[in-house]
Amino acid sequence: MTLQLGEFELIERIRRGQVVAAGSRTILGIGDDCAALALRPGEILLATTDMLMDGRHFLLDLHGAEAAGYKALGVNVSDIAAMAGLPIAALVAVALPRDRAEAVGEGLNRGVRVMADRFGIELIGGDTNAWDGPLVISVTVLGVASRQGIVTRSGARAGDAILVTGPLGGSLESGRHLRVEPRVELARQIQELAPIHAMIDISDGLVGDLGHILEESGGPGAVLEAEAIPIHEDAQRAALAGGRGALERALGDGEDFELCLTMSEAGAERVVAAFPGLRRIGWITADPRRLIRIGGRFEPWPAGGFDHLRAGCGRGGIATGAQA
Ligand SMILES: [Mg+2]
C-alpha cells in the first residue's frame, strides 16, 4: 500500500481524533518529542518511542546489528534530551530475521547496552520475535523531567534567539547518524542557566524541525543567519562530492540529533558564553515568514527536511546515503 499522506499529516489526523478525559494525567500527548504524564506534584514521567527498520534507518548488512541497537536506543534518548529530561529506563521490542536471529539479537543487545550504560538507563522489558522479514527494532524510553520542568516545542515567542548545540549536515553520507550523541547533559545544563522556551532534537533537518517549533508555537516566523549556521565537516565533504551545497545540507539534512532551542536574547548570551559548542543562528519573529539572511539578502528557507513516509530512495533516504 502506498501512503498518500505525509508522516506529519498522518500524525496530525491521529492527534485531532485524540480525546483527553477529565482528570487525565496526560500533560503532553501526541505531537512533541515525548509525551508527559503527571504522577505526583512536581513529578513528571516522560515517554517516547521510535521504530527503526532495516533498509530505512540503517542497513543491517553494511552497518551491523550492534550499530543498529546503539542507534535505536540513542534516537529515543535524544527525544528525552529534547525535553531537558533524564532517561531512566527502556523497553526494546524486536522482529529478528529468522535465518540469523541469534547473531543479530546478540549484536543488537551489545549496541543497546553501550548506549544504556552511558546514560545509566535500565533495560526493563521488551519483546523478541523472529520472522521472514527484515530486522525491525522498536524502543520505548521512559524518563523524568528536570526540576525546572519539561521544555516543549510550543513555547517560542517573537524576539527569542534560536540556538543549535552543534554542527549540522551530511550525517547520512558519513554514517554519523548511527553514532547518535544525545545531548542529555547539555540540555539540562542550559536549562539551569536560562529558561528554554522551546526545544526539539534535529531528526528531520534544521528547517523541518525548527518549522515544527514555529507551528506548535502558534505560527511565528524566523530569520536564520546563513553565516552563523554551524556546518558539519561531513556536509562540506558531501558537498564536494556533488549535489547540494554544504549550507543546504546543514539546513535540510536529517538525523544530526543536535538540539534546536529558543530562549531570550539575554539567556542566549549567557549560555553561548558558557558552552562554546552552542551557536546562536537566528531569531523568532512576529512576522510569520521563514527567512534566511545570506549576505545582505533575505530569502525564503529552502524546501527540505526529512519526512519519513515520503523520503524514498532520493535525498534523505538512507539507502542512497549509505551506498553513496
Ligand atoms: Mg524528536
Instruction: Give the confidence band of 19 by pLDDT, cuts at 50, 70, 90.
Output: low
8-state DSSP, 230: P
Which helix (H) or strand (E) element contains residue 144? Answer: strand 136-144
CA–centroid distance, residue 202 to ligand 1 (Å): 7
C-alpha span between 261 and 268 (Å, rounded): 10
CA–centroid distance, residue 48 to ligand 1 (Å): 9
φ, ψ at 134 (rounded to 5°):
-75, 170
**pLDDT value for 115:** 98
**Alpha carbon of 213 to those of 126, 259, 296: distances in Å?**
32, 12, 26
Instruction: Give the confidence band of 181 by pLDDT, cuts at 50, 70, 90.
Output: very high
CA–centroid distance, residue 132 to ligand 1 (Å): 30
| Burial class of 25 by CB neighbour count within 10 A (0 to 12, 13 to 18, 19+) | exposed
90: which strand partners?
Answer: 123, 141
**pLDDT value for 243:** 86
C-alpha span between 32 and 155 (Å, rounded): 12
**pLDDT value for 4:** 60
Which range in 19-23, 133-137, 239-243 is most confidently predicted, on average pLDDT?
133-137
Encode pLDDT of 196-205 as tens digits.
999 999 999 9
Q: Is the pLDDT of residue 316 over 50?
A: no
Q: Starting from the edge strand earliest in sequence, which strands make up the sheet with 26-28, in order?
A: 26-28, 35-40, 43-53, 136-144, 86-97, 122-131
CA–centroid distance, residue 75 to ligand 1 (Å): 8
Radius of gyration of the chain, Cα coordinates, nearest whole angstrom = 19
* Grid cell listed for 134: 527484515
Q: Is the pLDDT of residue 81 over 90?
A: yes
φ, ψ at 208 (rounded to 5°):
-65, -45
| Residue indicated by cell numbers 531537558 | 84
The strand pair at 86-97 and 122-131 is best described as parallel
C-alpha span between 72 and 52 (Å, rounded): 6
CA–centroid distance, residue 33 to ligand 1 (Å): 4
Find the mean pLDDT for residues 217-240: 96
56: which strand partners?
Answer: none
**pLDDT value for 320:** 31
C-alpha span between 308 and 123 (Å, rounded): 27
Encode pLDDT of 231-267 as tens digits.
999 999 999 998 889 999 999 999 999 999 999 999 9
Instruction: Give the confidence band of 72 by pLDDT, cuts at 50, 70, 90.
Output: very high
Nearest C-alpha neighbor of 318 from the set 170, 179, 184, 115: 170
CA–centroid distance, residue 251 to ligand 1 (Å): 16
**pLDDT value for 302:** 83
Which helix (H) or strand (E) element contains residue 317? Answer: none
Please, are residues 210 and 223 in contact by the beta-carbon 8 Å criterion?
no
What share of the chain in percent tops pLDDT 70? 90
Nearest C-alpha neighbor of 210 from the set 256, 165, 162, 245: 162
CA–centroid distance, residue 217 to ligand 1 (Å): 16
* Grid cell listed for 28: 503532553
Question: DSSP 3-state helix, strand, coil percentages of the chain (rounded to 5)?
Answer: 35, 25, 35
Please, are residues 221 and 290 in contact by the beta-carbon 8 Å criterion?
yes
Instruction: Give the confidence band of 25 by pLDDT, cuts at 50, 70, 90.
Output: confident
Nearest C-alpha neighbor of 277 from the set 195, 164, 162: 164
Please, are residues 190 and 264 in contact by the beta-carbon 8 Å criterion?
no
Please, are residues 278 and 16 in contact by the beta-carbon 8 Å criterion?
no
CA–centroid distance, residue 296 to ligand 1 (Å): 33
C-alpha span between 140 and 206 (Å, rounded): 24
Encode pLDDT of 86-121 as tens digits.
999 999 999 999 999 999 999 999 999 999 999 999
